[in-house]
Amino acid sequence: MLVNSAISPRGARFPGRYMQAAGAIGLLGQEAGRYGKSAIVLVDRGVFDMLEQPVSSAFRGEADVVLLRHGGECSERAVSELVARASAASVDVVIGIGGGKALDTAKAAACDLRLPVIVVPTIAASDAPCSALAVIYTENGTVAYDRFLPDNPDLVLVDTALIAKAPARFLAAGIGDALATWYEADACRRSGASNCMKMPGVPLAFEIARFCRATIFEHGTAALAECDAGRAGPAIERVIEANILLSGIGFESGGVAAAHAIHHGLCELDDVHHHLHGEKVAIGVLAGLKINGDQDEFERVRDFCLAVRLPTRLSDIGIADATEEKLAIVARRACRSGEIIHNEPVPVSEEMVVAALKALI
C-alpha cells in the first residue's frame, strides 16, 4: 500500500480569475454580482475620494454596495473591524481596492468570513495582489507576521488606466519585484527546493517566471515612459501583467530564494525604510547574482535596473555608510537557519552575503 509520505507532488496555484483593462473598475459591480446581491468595498484612503463615485456607479443596477475608507494599516484590528462591518451588512463578497495594505485587509477578512474576495490593485508596485498571502502589521506599523491564506483571490481586477496615473516609481518598484521572480524560481528549480505550497513547482511555474523576465526586459523602459505620461499604452499593459500576474504566479508556484532573503536582511536597517519593497528586492537580485558568481548576468541585470530607474547600489536605498556592522546584520538575518536563501543551488554563508553587498557599495 502506498503511504502518503511516498507521494511527492509538484504544484502551482493561481488566482481564480484575472481581468485587465483600462477602465476595468467600471466592471466591478457586474463582476461582484456573480457572487451575490451585496458587497462591501474597502477603499484605500489615498484613492477613496477619487474612486467613491466611479465605484458607486459601477454597482448601480448590479448589486448593493457598502463603501468603507481603509484606515491605512493591515492590522488584526483593521481585519476584525472589516469582518464586523461585513457581518452586520450580511454581504456576499468582500472587495479591496488600493495598495497592498487595503488588499491584504480585504483578503484576510474574507478568509475569516469564508466569503469570496475581489482585489483591485491601484498600483503595480509588487506581485502581492494575486497571492494567498496577507502581511499583518502591528498598530505602530512594524510587520507582525505573514498570514498564509488557504486560497488565492477569487478575482483580481486590474484597471490599467488607474495604475498608469499613479507615480512611475511604483511601477518601477513592481518591475524590481518581478525581476526577482525568474532568478529565485530558477534557483529553486536547480536545487529542488519547494515553492510556497511546500512542494516543488510544476514546469509551467518556471515558464511563467521566464516569460515574466522576458516581458519586463522587453517593455520595461517604454512602460515607464507611458506611466510618466499617465497613459495606459501597450507597453504598460504588458508590464502590469508581468508585475502582478506573471510574477505573482511565478513566485508562489516557482519558489523564492536569495533576492527576498537579502530584502528581509536589508529591512533590519532603519536606513532603508523610505524605500519600496521592489527597490530593495532589486538590490537582492544583484547581490544574489554576485553570490552565484554570474558576472555576465549581473552586468545585464544592472544595466536593466539603471534603465528602469531601479537602485543598483546600497546608497540608492538609503545605506550611505555601509559599515561592516550593518552588512553583518543584513547577512545574519538573510542566512538564518531555515531561511529561503538556502533554496539557492549553492550553499550560502554570511560571509558570501557580506562580500556580495560590498560589491554594491
In the complex, least distance from residue 277 CB atom to Zn ion, rounded to whole angstroms: 6
Determine the interface stretch with Zn ion among 43-51, 106-114, 169-177, 327-335 (rule: CB under 5 A): 169-177
With b for 16 or more beta-carbon neighbours within 10 A and e for fewer, the 23-45 pattern comes to ebbebbbebbbebeebbbbbbbe
**Does 177 sit near Zn ion (CB under 5 A)?**
yes
Instruction: State which residue, 116 or 284, has the beta carbon closest to Zn ion.
Output: 284
Q: Which of 92, 177, 186, 275 is catalytic?
A: 177
Instruction: State which residue, 29 or 265, has the beta carbon closest to Zn ion.
Output: 265
In the complex, least distance from residue 53 CB atom to Zn ion, rounded to whole angstroms: 33
CB 19 within 8 A of CB 156: yes
**Does 279 sit near Zn ion (CB under 5 A)?**
no
How is residue 241 annotated by DSSP?
I
What are residue 96's DSSP bridge partners?
42, 119
Instruction: State which residue, 14 or 358, has the beta carbon closest to Zn ion.
Output: 14
| N-to-C CA span, the chain | 58
Q: Is 277 a catalytic residue?
A: yes
Q: Is 342 a catalytic residue?
A: no
Binding letters toward Zn ion, positions 119-148, x by CB under 5 A: ------------------------------
In the complex, least distance from residue 180 CB atom to Zn ion, rounded to whole angstroms: 6
**Does 184 sit near Zn ion (CB under 5 A)?**
no
- 3-state secondary structure (DSSP) of residue 296: helix
Q: Which of 70, 219, 263, 275 is catalytic?
A: 263
How is residue 121 annotated by DSSP?
E
- Strands 133-137 and 143-148: what pairing? antiparallel
- 3-state secondary structure (DSSP) of residue 167: coil
Cα separation of 267 and 253, whole Å?
24
Mutual angle of helices 203-228 and 247-254, in 10-degree steps: 150
In the complex, least distance from residue 216 CB atom to Zn ion, rounded to whole angstroms: 14
Contacting positions for Zn ion (CB under 5 A):
177
Active site residues: 177, 260, 263, 277
